[in-house]
Amino acid sequence: MPALYLIRHGQASFGAEDYDQLSDLGMRQSQHVGEYFSAQGIQPDTIICGGMKRHRQTAEQCLNAMGLGAKFVDTSLWSTNTDWNEYDHLQILEAYTALPGVGEMMVQDMAGENPKAGFQKHFSHAMQRWCGGEYDHEYRETWSAFCSRIERGLAAAGGASGNVFVFTSGGAISAVSRQLLQLNDMKALSLSWMLANAAYSKVLVGKSGAVLASMNEHGHFDGKYRDLLSYR
């Protein structure tokens, strides 16, 4: 039975000029998940990579740690599919912060002792607004269109044979869980904020369809590797 390993990218560069690249911690996380797969005897037959820089960097670090970089990277066994790209969080935030007084409030909250907590507070509000559907005309890609795109990517990946490693983002994985577990929109969104960097979720594909066999597996960051665990 084909198994899809949906691997969330390592930690991106929060606060940097270019968010779409792995931080030093993200590089180490990506290497470690590859080491873990090797130790467990989990080997991919096909690689599908989202089109974002952090997806490719995670894939390269993971596969190189497994000794498989030369076999997969830029070969016929590797494909890039932008259906697995994350939603445009910057555009979602722009629409939210354009509301009267919101931008100033967000700046104040991020100037406190915990900028990430301040950001998450407002990001949650921005995502709820995007997901609600009432303001779809303000967004280049609506929540509904995003979920449809991820469903298309999942259907394409499910047509492959053997183990498929899919390197993607948290929002995409939460959209898969929404589809396969029949979750409501807000529950699916809340799941995306709980996914660890370089964690993986496993989807089994059979004749009756796809089944979510596991979600957010990050036991490879337990014990002495706990310092590698992050969510943002």
Domains defined along the chain, listed by start:
3-87+162-228 (3.40.50.1240), 89-138 (no CATH)
**pTM listed for this prediction:** 0.92
Q: What percent of the chain has pLDDT over 90?
A: 77
Give the tens place of pLDDT for each residue, 82-105.
Answer: 999 999 999 999 999 999 888 888
Rounded to 5 degrees, φ, ψ at 7 are: -105, 120
Q: Reduce the secondary structure of 117-165 to three states and give it as a string.
A: HHHHHHHHHHHHHHHHCCCHHHCCCCHHHHHHHHHHHHHHHHCCCCEEE
Q: What is the DSSP letter of 229?
A: -
pLDDT digits 0-9 by tens, 171-214: 999 999 999 999 999 899 888 889 999 999 999 998 888 999 99
Q: Is 136 left (phi over 0), alpha (psi -120 to 50) or beta?
A: alpha
